[in-house]
Amino acid sequence: MIVFLIGFMGSGKSFYAKGLSEFLHVPLVDLDQFIEEEQAMSITEIFEKMGEPSFRALESVAIKQVYADLLTRTTETTHINDILGIISCGGGTPCFNDNMEWMNKHGLTIWINAPEEIILERLMKEKETRPLVASLTEEELRGFIHQKLLERKPYYEKAQSVIANHQITIHEFINTIQHAKNFF
C-alpha cells in the first residue's frame, strides 16, 4: 500500500513523510521535488514559465508515475506493515483533475489538517519557494490561507484518514495509519 500525505502548504507533509519513511524503512517521494527534477526547473520557474494550469497537468501525470515507480522499487524493502512507500503531495494536488479520487482508489490518503495560525507562522518563514504566496504580506497571507482552505477543504475532506493534531509524534502517526488501514 502506498500512503499519500495531503494538506495545505506548511501543514507538515514533508516533515511527517520523512519521519514515516525513516521509521518504516520505506521509500519516500516528494511530488514537487520529483516534478522539479523531471523538468529541471524549480516549482517557481515552472509557474513563471509555463503557468499554473501546466503545472497542474504535470502534477497529475507525476502522481501516477511516482506511484508506479514506487511499486517497482519495493521488492527488497517490503515491510510487514505492507506500507510500500510514502508520497508527499503538493498542497494543491488533491484539488485538481481527478487526483483525489485516483489517490483514494490506489492507496491510503491522509490529510494533515494543521490550524491556520500554524500554517501562517510556518509559511511566513518559508514562502519564497512557493509561487502562490511568495509576494504576499503577512495580512494578505492570512486571508489567502483562510480563503484557500475554504475552497480546498471539500477535497481534503475526502481523505481516508485525518490527522488533526499538528504536533502528533511519528509513533502516533503510524498508529493512526495502522488503524486506518484496517478500514481501507
Q: Which of 2, 3, 9, 70 binds ligand S3P (CB under 6 A)?
A: 9
33 versus 161: smaller Cβ distance to ligand S3P:
33
74 versus 149: smaller Cβ distance to ligand S3P:
149
- Using CB atoms within 10 A of its CB, is residue 161 exposed (0-12), middle (13-18) or buried (19+)? middle
Stretch near ligand S3P under the rule CB under 6 A, chosen from 15-23, 90-98, 112-120, 167-175: 90-98
42 versus 176: smaller Cβ distance to ligand S3P:
42
CA-closest candidate to residue 10, choices 124, 109, 175: 124
Q: Which of residues 110-139 bind ligand S3P (CB under 6 A)?
A: 130-132
d(CA 35, CA 33): 5
3-state secondary structure of 88: strand
Binning the chain into helix, strand and coil, the percentages to the nearest 5 are: 55, 10, 35
Cell 522499487 belongs to 73
- Residue 90 touches ligand S3P, criterion: CB under 6 A: yes
User: Is 47:55 a contact under the CB 8 Å cutoff?
Assistant: yes
d(CA 70, CA 81): 16
83 versus 114: smaller Cβ distance to ligand S3P:
114
Q: Which of 12, 19, 85, 91 binds ligand S3P (CB under 6 A)?
A: 91
d(CA 125, CA 121): 7
Stretch near ligand S3P under the rule CB under 6 A, chosen from 19-27, 85-93, 156-164, 176-184: 85-93
96 versus 168: smaller Cβ distance to ligand S3P:
96
Stretch near ligand S3P under the rule CB under 6 A, chosen from 89-97, 103-111, 136-144, 159-167: 89-97
Interface residues with ligand S3P (CB under 6 A)? Answer: 9, 13, 32, 43, 90-92, 130-132
